[in-house]
Chain A
Amino acid sequence: MMLSSRRFTKKRISLLFAYSLSALLMIWLSYLLPSLLPGDFVTAMYSTSEDVTLTAAQESELRAYYSQDTGFAKYLIKLIRLDWGNSYAFLTPVSELFFDALPWTLLLLVSANILAALTGFIAGVEAAFRRNSRFERSLVSCGTIMEGLPEICTGVILLAVFSLYLGWFPAAGAETAYAELSFQEWLLDVGHHLTLPLASLVIAYFPGNFLLTRTSMIMVISQPYIKTAQAKGLSGLRIRYAHAARNALLPLVTRFGLRLAFTVTGAFVVERIHAYPGLGTLLFNAIRLRDLPVIQAIVLISSIMVLAMIMLLELVYASLDPRVQDAYQR
Chain B
Amino acid sequence: MMAKKFALTVHQNTQEDGDSLMALIQRCTLSLIFILFFGIICFASNSEIRIADPSGDWGFPTPYRHYPRGPGYIRMSMIFDTLIWKDTTGVIPALAESWSYEPETLSYLFTLRQGVKWHDGRPFTPADVVFTFQYIKEHAYNFVRLDSVASCEIEGEYQVRVKLREPYAPFLAYMATMPILPKHVWNKVSDPKKYVQPDSFIGTGPYTFVDFHKVKGTYLFEAFADYYQGRPKIDRLIYIKADDPLLALLTGKADLAQIEPNMVKILEKKGMTILRNQRGWNKKLMINHTKEPFSNKEFRHALAHAINRQEIIDKAHQGHGTVASDGLLSPDHEFYNPKTPSYEYNPAKARKILTSLGYTHGKDGFFTKDGKPLRVRLLASTVTTTDRDGEIIRHQLEQVGIAVDLQMQEKTAADTQIKAWDFDLAVSGHGGLLGDAVILNRMISPDTGSVNSARYAGSTKLLRLLKEQLHTTGKEKRRLILAEIQKIYAEELPALSLYYPESTAAYNPKKGISWYFTPGGIGTGIPICQNKAALLR
Residues of chain A touching chain B, judged by Cβ–Cβ distance below 8 Å, are 37-40, 43-56, 58-59, 65, 89-92, 97, 100-101, 159, 163-164, 167, 170-174, 176-178, 180, 272-273, 275, 277-278, 281-282, 285, 288, 290
Q: A273 with B243: in contact, given A51-B73, A167-B251, A177-B218 (CB under 8 Å)?
A: yes
Q: Which stretch from B118-126, B388-396, B425-433 is at the chain A interface?
A: B425-433
How many angstroms between the C-alpha atoms of A89 and B56 in the bound complex? 13
Q: Is there contact, CB below 8 Å, between A173 and B216?
A: yes
Q: Are B220 and A282 in contact (CB under 8 A)?
A: no
16 A-B contact pairs sorted by A residue (CB < 8 Å): A38-B413, A39-B412, A43-B415, A46-B68, A46-B449, A47-B416, A48-B411, A58-B449, A65-B193, A171-B244, A172-B241, A172-B244, A173-B242, A173-B253, A178-B218, A273-B243
Q: Which B residues lie within 8 Å of A174 (CB)?
A: 216
Q: How far is the CA of A275 from the CA of B244 in the complex (A)?
A: 9
**A52 and B412 form a contact (CB under 8 A):** no
State whether B415 touches A39 (Cβ < 8 A). yes
Within 8 Å CB of A49, what residues of B?
A: 68-69, 450
Check B415–A53 contact: CB distance below 8 A.
no
Inter-subunit contact A178/B220 (CB<8 Å): yes
Contacts of A176 in B (CB 8 A): 253
- A48: contacting residue among B220, B430, B525, CB under 8 A: B430
Q: Which residues of A contact B60 (CB under 8 A)?
A: 90
Q: Are the CB atoms of A44 and B415 closer together than 8 Å?
A: yes
Q: Give B452's nearest chain A residue, CB to CB.
A: A48
- Chain B, range 211-257, C-beta contacts under 8 Å to A: 211, 213-218, 220, 236, 238, 240-244, 246-248, 250-251, 253
B448 contacts A by Cβ under 8 Å? yes
Task: Determine the distance from Cα of A178 to Cα of B122 in the docked complex, in whole angstroms.
Answer: 28
- Residue pair B412, A51 in contact (C-beta under 8 Å): no
Instruction: Tell me the minimal C-beta distance from B119 to chain A in angstroms.
Output: 19
Chain B interface main SS type = loop
Summarize A's interface: helix, strand, loop or mixed.
loop
We find that the number of chain B residues with CB closer than 8 angstroms to chain A is 66
- In the assembled complex, B143 has its CB within 8 A of some CB on chain A: yes
Given contacts A48-B451, A50-B431, contact A164 B250 (CB under 8 A): yes
From B217, B218, B241, B412, residue with most partner A Cβ within 10 Å: B412
**Stretch with Cβ within 8 A of A (4 or more), from B95-103, B439-447, B460-468, B509-517:** B439-447
Interface contact A51-B526, CB-CB below 8 Å: yes
Inter-chain CA distance A288–B412, complex, in Å, is 7
Inside 8 A of A171's CB, which chain B residues have their CB? Answer: 242, 244, 247-248, 251, 253
Instruction: Tell me the complex Cα distance, A272–B415, Å.
Output: 23
In the complex, chain B residues whose CB is within 8 Å of the CB of A101:
215
Known contacts being A46-B68, A89-B59, is A163 close to B451, with CB within 8 Å?
no
- Residues on A with C-beta less than 8 A from B452 are 48, 50
Task: Please indicate the chain B residues that have their CB under 8 angstroms from the CB of A97 in the complex.
Answer: 214-215
Whole-angstrom distance between the alpha carbons of A167 and B250 in the complex? 9
Q: Which residues of B contact A167 (CB under 8 A)?
A: 250-251
Whether B449 pairs with A277 at a CB distance below 8 angstroms is no
- In the complex, the answer to whether A39 meets B416 with C-beta atoms within 8 Å is yes
Q: How far is the CB of A296 from chain B (nearest CB, A)?
A: 17
- CB-based contact A91/B442 at 8 Å: no
Across-interface contacts of A180 in B (CB, < 8 A) = 46
Judge whether B69 and A275 touch: CB under 8 Å: no
Does B363 have its Cβ within 8 Å of any Cβ on chain A? no
A178 touches B211 (CB 8 A): yes
Cross-chain contact B68 with A91 (CB below 8 angstroms): no
Q: How many Å lie between the Cα of A282 and that of B240 in the bound state? A: 16
Asked if B294 is an interface residue, CB under 8 A from chain A, the answer is no
Q: How far is the CA of A176 from the CA of B428 in the complex (A)?
A: 36
CB-CB under 8 A for A43 and B412, given A91-B194, A163-B247, A282-B215: yes
Q: How far is the CB of A269 from chain B (nearest CB, A)?
A: 12
Q: Which residue of B lies closest to A87 (CB)?
A: B214
B431 neighbours in A (Cβ, 8 Å): 50
